[in-house]
Structure 1
Amino acid sequence: MKRTILLLALALAACGSTPDPRPLSIPEAERLALVRFSNYTTGVSAFTASVPSPGGKLVLAGRVDFVNHLGYAGMRTDGRDDEFSKGLVQWNLGRMAFAMTPSAEAVDPVPVVDWQVRELQERGSELDGALRLLVNLGADRPENAQLLLQSTARWLRSDKIGEAAVDVFEGPKQKSDDSARLRYWLDQDGKLRRLEAKLGNQEELAVFDFTSSKQPVQVIPPLAS
């Protein structure tokens, strides 16, 4: 009797355990290879983001155009409510523009305000890293699934975002920074629902959530050139 109870307990524990991360299967590599191309065909996505930084967690909400590599968002510092903690940001592959505004909502049409423009930094800024990452998530062709299959990319687990079932994948290690691996939350159609990233020296992951949007991004004159 005791042996039967022990075997039953072990079986139930095994059923409830979470599978260990593992290398990609061929279909999973093909699915992961299509992420940026799928974003490109989508065109524009709405997003929200939570980006840890030394000055406090940055909260962004706006849209990203994966075809033209352009983003527009309202931004605020979580836990603060002063005039220096919120505003609007628009950016492309190389530059960003920021304007302090009373509201951190990315309204349309884009307001005529005093935009301060600068180059995106390659290193040293979690915000710049997040913005650069977002506008690089679209490509006009799929990645090489065979190379992904041979890489360190792996399947982590099954999960859910709301009612949507997703698989969570970890991308390949980057040669320049082995800790900077991205985690892709893909639904059953291969759409990117969430992205997690380690930015700068922050231990907490930055989190980006995506939903569909048909509202284009109106580029401001300082970035139009």
Structure 2
Amino acid sequence: MLAKRIARRWIVVALAVTVVLGAGIFSYVAASSPGSGPRAVTADEASRLAIARFRNYQKQGRAVTISVPGAAGELVITGSADYRAKTGYGVLKGKGRNDSGNGLIRWTATRVELRPLSAVPGLPPANPPADGWFGRPLNPAAGPLDRSLAILLGLGSDRPDNAQLLPQNGAEWVGSDRVNGHAVDVFTGPDSRERPGSAESVRYWLDGDGVMYRMRASVPGETNPVVIDFDTHEFIAVPAGN
């Protein structure tokens, strides 16, 4: 039962990262050093992986950029996440046909709200408009946008995971890389108990202290993965009452 709970938590809360393996689903291969993995994680690497979501919780707020795939064009959210309040806030910009939804976005684990803007800034304002918001329930199973928002909030936890269980559930070291000037190691995520073999479709870029600088996950029906980068810009606090 404990292994089942830990695996579920690392696959980012229920339906957030529902990975479908097989023909037509993209399997991302991270850039890594020559002669690299995949290989089983060491005890130290498992400890870093186990503490990564807790590091986000300790920091409370992280600046984030989310790239959301979609048939109508990519969506990019530039903003912030509050891992203690479980909220997010940012600027939403689309490419292709998706640019009609440009504006501000804020969300919780259960609700997402959009506020259209005629001119979209590079970063969200510290004090968002009080009116003009349109809200709906957040449904991770509805599509890549909601799934990506849920994935981001799921990358924080108020306690470390069990490092001993992660290797048993498929976590592996893939290689070394650099993200925004930070030396990192790349790891596959552990399997979901309900979906053996799914670990390969979720990857984390962590520094030597277990701080997360990137996360990528394949999503059903999309060729490209969801990409979440951390500390890509100046942090803006998520407004209270979001």
Name the TM tier (shorter chain): 0.7 to 0.9
Counterpart secondary structure, 2:230: strand
- Aligned partner of 1:134 among 132, 137, 152: 152
- Aligned partner of 1:147 among 165, 174, 180: 165
Residue 187 (structure 2) pairs with residue 169 (structure 1): yes
1:96-141 Cα offsets, whole Å, 9 max, x none, are: 1111112333112011231111111131310000000111111111
1:13-68 Cα offsets, whole Å, 9 max, x none, are: xxx83323011111111100001110000010011121101221001100000111
Q: How does 1:91-110 map to 2 (within 5 A)?
A: 91-105=107-121, 106-110=124-128
Instruction: Give 1:80 deviation, angstroms.
Output: 5.8
Counterpart secondary structure, 2:46: helix
Q: How does 1:44-55 map to 2 (within 5 A)?
A: 44-55=61-72
> Equivalent residue for 2:104?
88
In structure 1, what residue type is equivalent to 2:105? V
Residue 43 (structure 2) pairs with residue 32 (structure 1): no
Counterpart secondary structure, 1:34: helix
Alpha carbons 1:44, 1:213 under 8 Å: kept: no
Q: Which runs of 4+ in 1 moved over 6 A?
A: none
Of structures 1 and 2, the one scoring higher in RCO (CA 8 A, sep 6+) is 2
Counterpart secondary structure, 1:89: strand
Give the length in aligned residue pairs. Answer: 205
Moved more, 206-215 or 196-205: 206-215
Instruction: Give 1:149 deviation, angstroms.
Output: 2.4
Identity of aligned residues (%): 37
> Equivalent residue for 1:186?
206
> Equivalent residue for 1:200?
220
Counterpart secondary structure, 1:99: strand
In structure 2, what residue type is equivalent to 1:51? V
Counterpart secondary structure, 2:165: helix
Give the distance between the partners of 2:145 and 2:98, measured in 1 at CA: 19
Higher Cα Rg: structure 1 or 2?
1
1:150-204 Cα offsets, whole Å, 9 max, x none, are: 2101111101113321100010122445547321101122211111111231121
Q: Are the structure 2 counterparts of residues 171 and 128 from structure 1 closer, same or farther at C-alpha, using a change threshold of 3 Å? A: same
> Equivalent residue for 1:73?
90
Give the distance between the partners of 1:169 and 1:94, measured in 2 at CA: 29
In structure 2, what residue type is equivalent to 1:137? L
Counterpart secondary structure, 2:49: helix
Q: Are the structure 2 counterparts of residues 85 and 119 from structure 1 closer, same or farther at C-alpha, using a change threshold of 3 Å? A: closer
Instruction: Give 1:213 deviation, angstroms.
Output: 6.0
Instruction: Give 1:88 deviation, angstroms.
Output: 1.0
Alpha carbons 1:151, 1:172 under 8 Å: kept: yes
Give the distance between the partners of 2:50 and 2:162, measured in 1 at CA: 6
5+ residue gaps, structure 2: 1-32
In structure 2, what residue type is equivalent to 1:116? F
Residue 37 (structure 2) pairs with residue 20 (structure 1): yes
5+ residue gaps, structure 1: 1-15
Residue 238 (structure 2) pairs with residue 217 (structure 1): yes
> Equivalent residue for 2:23?
none
Q: Are the structure 2 counterparts of residues 217 and 162 from structure 1 closer, same or farther at C-alpha, using a change threshold of 3 Å? A: closer
Q: Are the structure 2 counterparts of residues 154 and 81 from structure 1 closer, same or farther at C-alpha, using a change threshold of 3 Å? A: closer
